[in-house]
Amino acid sequence: MKSKQKKWYDYLWIMSLLYLLLGFFNILFAWLGLICFVVPLLISIWKGNKGYCNHYCGRGQLFALLGNKLKLSRQRNIPAFLRSNWFRYGFLTFFLIMFGNMLFSTYLVFSELRSLNEVVTLMWTIKLPWNWAYQGTRVIPGVAQFAFGFYSLMLTSTLLGMVTMVLFRPRSWCVYCPMGTMTQAVCKIKHKN
């Protein structure tokens, strides 16, 4: 058997964990989460594969670690409907609509039509006060608003991933991850012929 030597990217789960922690101290770190949006798309468009999901996704690694090493997962089969195309693409659509909604809120704050809302919204409904993580005036309010919105998105998806990690297999989030669905769709289009 070939020995499996750990590579540098096998430790990217630390970055995912760090990202979540940094958001508790300074919300502006949330901007770093854009890496998880842009890099998978760029890889799928340029290289035509899911290299990000397959090797570099720190979140997937974190779930695998929690589920396997810490044995937090029940290791059950995921219900078939969660891997069906209508659910995966439906969830992607919902996610993109909510992302658009967040961008619109950012635009309103940028245009000074609305004041900065220092809250993190969990599951798109539960508003948690998060004012301690924003210390002030170094950036314009719109930049901070995007950070609050984006961190809400990242925290919500992590929470959903945690729940399915416990209920089913460690990386169950990967089945309906909007970025995974989107990059797979890009690859399907790219390799159509």
Partner 1 sequence: MSIQKRKRYASIDKKECVACGSCIKICPLAAITVPKGIHAEVNRNQCIGCGKCLKSCPASVIEIVDEVMHKEDISYEKQTKKVV
140 is written with which tokens? 């314009």
Give the residue, chosen from 125, 138, 191, 193, that forms a contact with partner 1 under the rule CB under 8 A.
191
48 binds partner 1 (CB under 8 A): yes
Give the residue, chosen from 58, 60, 142, 149, that forms a contact with partner 1 under the rule CB under 8 A.
60
| Per-residue contact flags (x/-) with partner 1 for residues 107 to 146, judged by CB under 8 A | ----------------------------------------
Under 8 Å between Cβ of 39 and 179: no
Q: Which parts of 2-31 interact with partner 1 (CB under 8 A)?
A: 2, 4
| Angstrom distance (rounded) from CA 32 to CA 20 | 11
- Which candidate, 177, 147, 146, places its Cα nearest to that of 160? 177
Q: Are strands 126-129 and 119-122 parallel, antiparallel or unpaired?
A: antiparallel
Q: How many residues contact partner 1, by CB under 8 A? A: 37
Give the residue, chosen from 27, 171, 178, 182, that forms a contact with partner 1 under the rule CB under 8 A.
171
74 binds partner 1 (CB under 8 A): no
Amino acid at 57: C
Residue with tokens 């439906």: 90
Dihedral in degrees, nearest 10, Cα atoms 175, 84, 99, 167: -50
Query: How many Cβ atoms are within 10 Å of 6's Cβ, its own excluded?
Result: 7
Residues contributing to the site for partner 1 (CB under 8 A): 1-2, 4, 44, 48-51, 53-55, 60, 64, 68, 75, 77-78, 83, 88, 168-175, 177, 180-181, 183-184, 186-188, 190-191
